[in-house]
Amino acid sequence: MSESETILVYDDDCGFCTWWADYFDERTALRIVGFSDLTDELRARLPDDYEDCSHLVTDDAVYSCGASIEEALTRTDVGGPVDDVVEFLRQFEDYERFRERGYRWVADNRDRWGRYLSKTPPARRGSDDG
């Protein structure tokens, strides 16, 4: 799987999640795939509880929840500043726990966040919406 074949899997029935998926689609070479469009092969690579969070799938790894967003951010065209911050934060023992707690807090409050950052999710678009 090349960089352009690295896949971000997300909840395509969530407006907040769709906003972020579009953000990454515009700024990375990631292929974006919603839960409703998973192939059997891709679903088999995900954890059983895959609908609990987003995932970034590469040739040799699957990053889930906060790790998926971190990996996606390091692949954006923002580049250096994000990479530097992530590299710095990874030095701290509690960073991974903090990252995952932060992800879970945002995910559990995505209805609130969706008031500010949201797009109509693909799973809710009418067939004639284009």
pLDDT in tens, 58-95: 999 999 999 999 999 998 887 668 888 999 999 999 99
Are 78 and 44 in contact by the 8 Å Cβ rule? The answer is: no
pLDDT for 77: 80
Query: b/e string for 1-37 if b means 16 or more Cβ within 10 A?
Result: eeeeebbbbbbbebbbbbbbbeebeeebebbbbbbee
Neighbours of 101 (CB within 10 A): 12
User: Which pTM was predicted?
Assistant: 0.87
Tell me the per-residue pLDDT of 29-56, one tens digit each, with 9 for 90 and over: 999 999 999 999 999 999 999 999 999 9
